[in-house]
Amino acid sequence: MDDIVRQALAKWPNVPACYGWLGLDARGNWYLRDERVQAQGLFAGGTGPTKGDELKHEKLLEFIRRNYESDAQGQWYFQNGPQRVYVELAATPLIWRVNPDFSVHDHLGRMAHSQTCLLDELGRLYLQTDAGFGLVHSMDMGEAADALDRGLWPLQEVQAAGLPARFGYVMSPQRQQIK
């Protein structure tokens, strides 16, 4: 977390959290979801207008990446100064990129070591790593298949619906607030 964010938290400790305004898609792209977009439906599984506007400003994206983490309940958020902006997930909290040498890094740019590979009923591939759990980016399925063919990653078959509970993450913190 940035020092300036820590200072803001100390100065304003009781700022209410923000829900539904930020989404992370299955390719590691961030989306801003204003009230109009939120009224059209939840982010998870959304396409087109329910996703919102993709964030493209590199400095803002770098700030989000540096201040992205999870709370004790498995809800992922971006700490924006004194305010937590909870993130709606389309798939998983991390999106893994596979390099030609089969090393992996997440959508934040952090390197990790793969421990287990999981395949769901829809053919989506996930990695459990020393840095956390996430979906393999769709553009990297060729490299991932090569790693599996070479026996580099142990493979397990799973049901997608059970992954959030098994790996301790919340797809929609906003939906948790409605309950």
- The answer to whether residue 24 scores a pLDDT higher than 70 is yes
Residue 179: band (very low, low, confident or very high) from pLDDT cuts 50, 70, 90: low
- The answer to whether residue 23 scores a pLDDT higher than 90 is yes
Chain segment 134-170, per-residue pLDDT in tens: 999 999 999 999 999 999 999 999 999 999 999 999 9
Average pLDDT, the chain: 91
> How many residues belong to the chain?
179
For 148, phi then psi, to 5°, come to: -65, -45
Going from N- to C-terminal start, the domains of the chain cover 3-91+169-178, 94-159
Give DSSP secondary structure letters for 7-64: HHHHH-TTPPPEEEEEEE-TTS-EEE--HHHHHT--STT--GGGT-EEP--HHHHHHH
Residue 161, Cβ density class (10 Å: 0-12 exposed, 13-18 middle, ≥19 buried)? exposed
Question: Which helix (H) or strand (E) covers residue 119, if one does?
Answer: strand 114-119
Q: What is the pLDDT of residue 152?
A: 94
Task: Find out if CATH 1.10.287 is the number for domain 94-159.
Answer: no
- The answer to whether residue 7 scores a pLDDT higher than 90 is no
Q: What is the pLDDT of residue 48?
A: 58
- CATH architecture for the domain at 3-91+169-178: Roll (3.10)
Residue 39: band (very low, low, confident or very high) from pLDDT cuts 50, 70, 90: confident
Do the beta carbons of residue 78 and residue 44 sit within 8 Å?
no
- For the sheet with 155-157, list strands across it: 111-112, 104-106, 94-98, 132-136, 125-129, 114-119, 155-157
